[in-house]
Amino acid sequence: MIEMIEMIEMIEMIEMISLSKIKLDKAHIL
């Protein structure tokens, strides 16, 4: 169970980082 929770947290972190990168890319284009 603990491992699953850690995996979910890791995935959420990766999604947050990728989302922030996309926002930065869009801001850079503008």
pLDDT at residue 1 in the model:
64
Q: Which two tokens stand for residue 27?
A: 């801001």
> For residue 28, which phi and psi values (nearest 5 degrees)?
-65, -40
pLDDT at residue 4 in the model:
92
Residues present in the chain in total: 30
AA identity, residue 19: L
Q: Taking the CB of residue 9, how many other CB atoms lie within 10 A of it?
A: 10
pLDDT at residue 2 in the model:
76
Using 70 as the pLDDT threshold, list the residues of the chain that sit under it: 1, 29-30
pLDDT at residue 30 in the model:
65
Q: Specify the pTM.
A: 0.58
